[in-house]
Amino acid sequence: MKLSTNALRSSPLAIAFIVGAAVVILFASRFPSGGEVGPGFFPIGISTGIILFALVELVTEDDGGLDVSDHDLRAAGVVLALVFGYLVAMPLAGFLVGTILFLPVILYYSGVRSPTTIAVISLLLPLALFYIFSQFFLVPLPEGVIPFSRLLPRLPVWVML
């Protein structure tokens, strides 16, 4: 279980994950703290997990690596472009509207063809995440140019417990 230069050369993606997660931790640690669970809690926690798993990938010796040339990279490129577009549109559309518009596209592209499934996931998941973060964790989410999220009712306290 030793980290060798060969392991570093054969796992550039693990190194990229470590660097990316470290950058996220750096920026998230600068968020203002709002108590025990502040806005930086989840980014730091998830990034720490990413770093741990990337380190495990680096120290394990597995010769059965994935050959990228066997796979179509266009699908990954399309998903990456969709996520990038979603993130760019977030300041204008806001979290709620942007996510409700993004999820049907990504679900359909991922092979989900049931209109009912797409509609339920695209509406309920953003609403649930909005309420969890804005009312339970008190972490404000981007509202966009037109703050539709302000039209939503506040949940009673017993729902959040």
Q: Do 79 and 20 belong together in one domain?
A: no
Q: Do 61 and 80 belong together in one domain?
A: no
**Which residue range(s) make up the domain with 6?**
1-65
Task: Specify the higher pLDDT residue, 112 or 140.
Answer: 112
Q: What is the pLDDT of residues 71-96, one digit of tens each?
A: 677 888 899 999 999 999 999 999 99
Q: Do 98 and 34 belong together in one domain?
A: no
Number of domains making up the chain: 2
Q: Do 110 and 133 belong together in one domain?
A: yes
The pLDDT assigned to 29 comes to: 87
Here the tokens at position 39 are 């806005």
The pLDDT assigned to 3 comes to: 60
Q: What is the pLDDT of residues 50-69, one digit of tens each?
A: 999 999 988 887 666 666 66
Domain boundary among 16, 35, 65: 65
Q: In the chain, which residue ranges form alpha helices assigned H by DSSP?
A: 5-10, 12-28, 41-59, 73-109, 115-131, 157-160
Q: Do 157 and 78 belong together in one domain?
A: yes
Closest CA to 90 of 12, 32, 144: 144
The pLDDT assigned to 33 comes to: 74
User: Distance (Å, rounded) from C-alpha 34 to C-alpha 79?
Assistant: 34
Q: Do 91 and 120 belong together in one domain?
A: yes
Q: Do 123 and 88 belong together in one domain?
A: yes
Q: Do 108 and 79 belong together in one domain?
A: yes
The pLDDT assigned to 4 comes to: 58
Domain boundary among 40, 65, 90: 65
User: Distance (Å, rounded) from C-alpha 96 to C-alpha 75?
Assistant: 26
pTM over 0.85: no
